[in-house]
Amino acid sequence: MSLEGESTRRRTYADFTARGPATLPHKFESDALVNHFSNKPLPEGACALIDLPGDVFLDTEDEVNVIAASVWVLCVKYDRIPAGDKPTNRENLRRVNAWTVNQIEKDVSQMVDEVLARTIPVDKDAKAKK
């Protein structure tokens, strides 16, 4: 038993269908995604990140939880694509992935720019003119 009173056994995909991220529960239809999350269960920290309110950011989170949470969210998004719209070959899958990564890059770039812009010293002359 762990300190929280839970078993220390490795969590399975079945555990996640019952105890996954509360704000993004999903039972995968794709056998490949079921197998992936059965073999590499989503860490508790990743579930916690997914369940955070959209306006909350924790700069102390482990990188592995951020990556795991991202993979979960993107796999759920992919799994929800209607069957007729899903890629049927590797090239189309690469296009979907490239588009997704491009959108993520734009979003992250904007967020990082907003955060880092606060680190630039304010020009006292420009501030005085306001």
* pLDDT of res. 64: 76
* pLDDT of res. 23: 85
101-118 pLDDT, tens digit each: 888 888 888 888 888 887
Q: Model pTM greater than 0.75?
A: no
* pLDDT of res. 4: 46
In the structure encoding, which two tokens stand for residue 16, read together? 């996640």
In this prediction, the residues of the chain whose per-residue pLDDT falls under 70 are 1-19, 58-61, 125-130
